[in-house]
Every structure is written in structure tokens, then in C-alpha cells.
Structure 1
């Protein structure tokens, strides 16, 4: 009659996705030279071993190493009750005596982790197949489950580590070179407030409805792409058609006028306006700017599609520098039962890790809670980010969009011939088309604020100096 341990061993040996000898050899090497334990402690788990007993032994090695030397003898008290411990003890003792060079240890370690990830992938795909047979599981859930199943093996990256001196030399070598990063160019006052957006930055853009968040990020995208930065916009709220109509009106706009968004939206463009729209289309053709409006994206799907686009650009000799997500809370939940706080936290953390891993900037639009409306001063603060806890922590910079005009418009007096109306009209004239850029958090520089212009009729946001070269005063 076979023992449970023998059954484990036979099960592990009966597949090409297991290498029991490599697992034993690695354990022996760790026991022979405890200095190797630190090299594998953060990259290997007990669950990565095909034989559960070997996994428990590895976990115990990690627990005992900080206390003192670990070998087969010091492990014995923890495993005497295990079936076939005497056999395992003999094998481990022999393996320790026959410990090989570090190159062999590394090879065995790499194979163990690779085989483990393959086994988890297969298990995950089996779960996906089982879900596919369940008609109550939606298509969106199936895609999310499939993404999660392949995520671990797809996202594996090499550990990036070097001495501070090595990194310091990279910094010194960069002196005198152009600053690498993203600027809008189109909204200079905002560029001054935010600074150059550096690769790995997560920028959160917040504001209440009607403040012009989408117009801000699309104007920023147009300016950045016009300077050669590769930009990908994930439009989770609007269709690509809707967003493109707004952007065409934006690109047509200048101090001399433009094509009203409502005309582009409704297809009522006439005469010279058609030429302006066609010219804008030609300019867009030359920009590395794309829109992705795939519905029901989870953060895993979004990241996968962004990476695919990055590879496509790289094949053409271009780079993906900026990914815009409009907006964060619209992203599909990765699993059922998540609270809004858990969902927003998961997405913001994933976007930050994505920005860092891919060395690019992520700009994510976020809705604010209604608490803003309860205060006399409606200017947002970081706590107003809806379900904000993790978002506020993950963000390298927070940018709030605020327009006094929008709130003042709601207080228009009914009597248009009284003194109150005249005072209200003067107040409106003072804030018409003006937008405030509030930057309460900026990890790489001081916080602050700046002013700009918001032209809702043209779906455009411009810099504070937009009228500097124009003889015409700003008009509503």
C-alpha cells in the first residue's frame, strides 16, 4: 500500500510540468549554503513546489533562516510526524552534501518557478472553461476571468535592481540632455503648474460634472501628440465617434474662431467650416494619437490592449508616452461583489504599477463625490475624490478642474431688471470662460494652481496666455 507521500511523488513525476529532482536539489543547495535563501525568498513560495511536503519544507526554511543556521537536522523536529520523513531526511542530507555551483542552483530555481506558473495558468484556464459552460456567467465575466488566468505569466518581468551609484551615473549622464517626458504645449499655464509629466507618473484629473474634465484631457492629448508624444485615449464613457467630434471642434478652434462643436456633433457643418474640419483631419493623420472605446474593459484588459498598442508603435519606430483613461470609475469590475472603494483602489494601484512597468505616463480622470456641493467654496480637495483613499495615495500628481462660471450660472436671478441681476451679470463677466487648474499634490515638485480658458462651445481648453497675441479681448 502506498503512502500519501508516495502518491504525491507519483503524481508529480507523472507530468512534464513537474521536476521533483530539481526541487530536491534546490532544497539541498539552500541547506548547504544558507546564504542562497535570501536570493530566492521573495521570488519563490511553498506553493510553487509540486510535492506539498517539499513546499512545507521550503516554507519552514524561510521561517528558520532568520533565527540561525538551517539544515536537515534543525528541520527534523518540525516534520517527524510527516509520512516518510525519514526517507526525505536522507534525501535532503545527501542533496546538501552534493550541492552544486550557484549556476546550477539558479537554473533549478528558474525551472521550478516557470513550471509552477504554467501549472497555475492551466488551473486558471480550466476554471475559465468551467465558467464558459455556466450560462449564468456573462461574456464580460468570462473575459475578466481569462485575463486574470493569464495575467501572472503574461506580466512576469525581470527584477530591476542596481547600486545607487549605478543609478547616480545614469542621472549624471542625463545632464544637459532634453528632459524626457510629456507636455501639452497647447495649455502652457497647465504645463507650468504640473511640470513635465515623467515616465511612470500617474496623474489623476478630478472634477465635478460640467467642469470640463474630458475637454481638458483631450486638449492635453492633442497638444502632446502634436509635439510627437504617442498618446492612447481609453474612452470608457463616450464612443470614439462622440469623442472624435469633440476633438475635431477643438483642433479647429483658435483666436480667430472655429467650428462649433454642436455643428460637428449634429453634422450641420457648411461651407468653409467643412474645409476647416478636413484640415483638422489631415493634422490628426500626422499625430500618433488613437482612441480605444472598447466597452466593458477591466483594468487587466485595458493594460493588455495598451501594451499591444505600445508594441505596434515600437515596430513603427515610435513610442507610447501617454495613456489617458476617461474615466477611472467607469472601468468594469474585475470580480463580483467589489465595493466602490475596493474597485477604485484596485484600478488606481494597477494603473500606477502599469505606468511604472511600461515607463510611460498614465492620466486618469476621476469623478468627485457630492460633498463638494455642500461647501460654500466649491473648489475640490483631495478628499473629494470619490472613493478616494487609494487613488490619492497612488497618484503622483492630482489635478482638479474648477470653473466658477458653472456654479454662478445656477444662481441667475429671475428678475433680469433688478440690481441683483446686474451684480450677477458683472460677476459672470469676470469669470466667463475661465478655468482654474488646482494642483494640491505633486510628488516631484511644489503644489500650486494656474488659470486657463475653457470654451465649451468648441470643447476646447487653452492656456492663460491664449489671447496674448490677439488684439481682440476675450469674449463669451
Structure 2
């Protein structure tokens, strides 16, 4: 099989060479005719993108000279006088300069040069993978990483990350009156109001003590977001895909009239009259752009690689990945031995933020809180309670804490014959099924809090308007 694979490489290169020398010389000629174009392409096209080494060196020298003055074949000549190929290149470039075309043609040349260069790198990378596959000392993980990196050449392009404030202001003004780009849940209205539209590049940290309903919140949010058309990928590090799916099925069946209890779905004891709701929930999930990844031993690098692969698969189908959920941050495998909890949490936090920014995604990461919360009379969390690293607080664009007073009151239940029992029961009724969404940090807006509903029997979280919404009606 590997021999046939190598033959396909050779045949592909012979049948369809991955270069266009005419486009390269035409591109250089257009840049010589209009030096202002050099700055526009300098950060997006590299000398190595040219198939003819001399043309790549000429392009590199053009970029260097354009920083201090005009560039033409005369100013370039002294730098290539000893190159035997220069006389022919000189005459060709001089003629190309005279035949320079419109900007649209230059862009067409540029697009083809960078595209063919990307494909050449991909072919070279895949050849290395084939060679590595024969070496039994190379691990399977290394092979997968190298293959993914080679394929990524088609998806990842070198782009400039700098522009004038005036240019960015144009983009801002042109966006006025248009729908805001970002992720919303739709089914947890009060939370949407508290954290706003989550923008591409946002890192959202969801924290809470055990039993507060963090996983239920992020899964309910994910289901709502997918229902609004946002592509969602959930990395489940704590639960298996089977367990998480059972929770989500129970969530999907829930309404104010009831639903199929998670306990029934979990244990496979769904009643006959409940089966229709479960099947309907399954059919609804078939329509939603939401997937679960339960890869074990997931490091930060593996997570990013797999998320990028999923993003490319969706893009090939004309769909878009917008929300990546990580449940939860501290369970991610260490990238190297001997890392302290602080170093590990910091590395993951910084990496997830950079990943969100580079890929234009919203990353929502669940985080555990320290036990210090339990030592305070008021057990509502604070940013300093984020366990293992202050870096998490720094990197997060939004910090969202989940707090349920009901969970703490349950632990304080007095004896039914105690004089305080009636007071306790009144307090319990006041907070039953209520959840507080605490937002101590929101980089793009004010901090604050909101109220919602938590239905533990169905692993479902809803907004404050649940009973008055269309769903409630």
C-alpha cells in the first residue's frame, strides 16, 4: 500500500506540477510597476513561496529595498550581478514591468503563488509522514501530529495582524446595523443578558464548587447555541460520551410539564410512555451541529489539533465551528512530566486563550474552585477562588460562576421536631431550583449577576423567563 501511495505522489507531481513560473514573474513585474503593492503582500507571501529560488531571492530583496525607497530592476541589479541566471531574469522582469496589469490581476497571481506553495509544503509533509510510517521508532501520536500538520497547510495561511486604526474603524462603522457576530444560547435568556454575545476569540471560564451544576450549565448552553445554528464541539474530560449524552437527552426532553428524568435515561429504565420523548430528542440532536469528543489522555496540543481538524471538516461541508467547550480545564493531561498544578493550569489557560484568538472561536472552559469557598459564611465564589492559577483569571474574557444556595441549605436541614425546621423549610422553598449566574469579570461589558432555574432531575438549566416563555407556555 505504501508503494502505491508513493507512486500516486510521483504521478500527481508529473501530471500537475505545483508551480506557475509565469505567474511568479508576472507578480514580480507588477510589484516593480507599483511599489505600493509590496507592503500589502509582504506579510502574506514569503520568498520561500516561489518555486524558482532566484525569484524568491529577488522578492526578498524587493521587500528589503521598499522599506527605504523605490525598487526597480536597476536598483536590484547590483545584488544579483554574480548570479548566472540574473541576465535572463533582468530582461524578463523589465518586460514584465512594461506589461504590468491591474490590481485584480496581481491579486490573482498572488493567490495562485501562495496556494501552490501551500500544496507543495503539504506534499513534502505527507512524504515525510510516509517515510516516518516505515520507522517503527516513531510513535503513532507523532505520525498523527505530522500528518495533521501537513494537511493544515491547506487551511492555514500567513496573514497580517496589523493595520491602521483608521482601517479598523472602517470595519467597525461598516458593522453598524448588522447582526452581531458571536454565540448566544437562546434558551437561557438571563444568562445571555448577563454575559452578552460571546465574540470570536473569547475565553469564557465557568467555575463552581462540586454539585453546583457546572456541567449541566455548559451542556444546556451548548444545546441552545447549536439550536441557534452555532457549530459546537464538547471535549468531555470528566464523563464518557455515553454518560454526557444521557444527560443531554434528559435535558432535551425537559419542559415545564416535566420530562424524562435523567435517572431513567442513565439506568436504561425509560418507561414506555417516555420513549417517544427520548426518540424525539434524539431526532432533534440529529439536526443540530453539536459533537462530543471523549479522547482520553488529552493534552492541550492534542485538543487544539483535534479541534482544528473538526473545524476543517465542518468548513468542507459549508458549516462553521464557533463554540468549543472543555469540561474541565484541570483534568487535561500534563504536556510534560513534573509540572506543578500551577504550571499546568497556567499553560492550559494561556493556550486556550491563544487558540480561541488564532482560530476565531469561543472557548468555554469549566474550572474547579478551591475549598476556601467553603470556609466563608457567604459561599458565593470570587475570582481568587479559581483553583491552581491566577493566570486563569487574567486570561479569561468572561468569568462565570454558578451558585446554588439550595445545595448548601440541604446540608443544614434540622430535625423535623426542631424549632428551626419551619424557618429552614421556608428558606428552602425560596431558593428551590434557583441558580445564580455570577459574572465578576466581563471584558467587553459590565459585571453583574442573573437568576435562572436548575432542574437537577433532568440535568437542565433554563433562564429566568422559563415559565413565561414559549417553552413554558
Give the match's secondary structure for 1:101: coil
Kindly state the Cα deviation for residue 214 of structure 1 after the two structures are TM-superposed.
1.6
Pick from 383, 387, 390 the counterpart of residue 381 of structure 1.
383
1:30 aligns with 2:31: yes
Aligned-partner Cα distance in 2 for 1:253–1:259: 7
> Partner of 2:4 in structure 1?
none
What does 1:136-175 align with in structure 2 at a 5 Å threshold? 136-156=137-157, 168=173, 171-172=176-177, 174=178
What does 1:119-268 align with in structure 2 at a 5 Å threshold? 119-156=120-157, 168=173, 171-172=176-177, 174=178, 183-197=184-198, 200=200, 202=202, 204-208=204-208, 210=210, 211-224=212-225, 229=229, 231-237=231-237, 238-255=239-256, 257-268=258-269
Give the match's secondary structure for 1:102: coil
CA contact (8 A) 1:349 1:390 kept: no
Give the match's secondary structure for 2:229: coil
CA contact (8 A) 1:236 1:326 kept: yes
Aligned-partner Cα distance in 1 for 2:147–2:194: 41
CA contact (8 A) 1:205 1:213 kept: no
Q: How many residues align?
A: 432
1:365 aligns with 2:370: no
With normalisation by structure 1, the TM-score equals: 0.71
What does 1:26-425 align with in structure 2 at a 5 Å threshold? 26-52=27-53, 54-75=55-76, 84-85=82-83, 88=86, 91-92=89-90, 95-96=93-94, 98-99=96-97, 100-103=99-102, 105-156=106-157, 168=173, 171-172=176-177, 174=178, 183-197=184-198, 200=200, 202=202, 204-208=204-208, 210=210, 211-224=212-225, 229=229, 231-237=231-237, 238-255=239-256, 257-270=258-271, 274-286=272-284, 288-289=287-288, 290-293=290-293, 295=295, 298-309=303-314, 312=317, 323-327=323-327, 329=329, 340=344, 341-355=346-360, 362-368=362-368, 370=370, 373=373, 376=376, 379-381=381-383, 384=386, 389=391, 393=395, 395=397, 397-404=398-405, 406=407
Aligned-partner Cα distance in 2 for 1:17–1:336: 39
Kindly state the Cα deviation for residue 450 of structure 1 after the two structures are TM-superposed.
0.7
Q: Which sits farther off after the overlay, 156-165 or 126-135? A: 156-165
Give the match's secondary structure for 1:67: coil
Aligned-partner Cα distance in 1 for 2:333–2:61: 37
> Partner of 2:12 in structure 1?
none
> Partner of 1:473 in structure 2?
none
Q: Deviations over 1:257-298 (max 9, x none)?
A: 54432332122344xxx4234314314423532433352563
Give the match's secondary structure for 1:143: helix
Q: Which sits farther off after the overlay, 442-451 or 112-121? A: 442-451
Structure 1: runs of 5 or more not aligned: 1-14, 357-361, 470-476
Structure 2: runs of 5 or more not aligned: 1-15
> Partner of 2:13 in structure 1?
none
Say if 1:105 and 1:214 are closer, same or farther in 2 by CA, change over 3 A: same
Kindly state the Cα deviation for residue 43 of structure 1 after the two structures are TM-superposed.
1.3
Say if 1:56 and 1:402 are closer, same or farther in 2 by CA, change over 3 A: farther
> Partner of 1:8 in structure 2?
none
Aligned-partner Cα distance in 2 for 1:346–1:251: 32
Say if 1:438 and 1:96 are closer, same or farther in 2 by CA, change over 3 A: farther
Kindly state the Cα deviation for residue 217 of structure 1 after the two structures are TM-superposed.
1.9
Give the match's secondary structure for 2:127: helix
> Partner of 1:6 in structure 2?
none
CA contact (8 A) 2:207 2:399 kept: no
Aligned-partner Cα distance in 2 for 1:378–1:117: 51
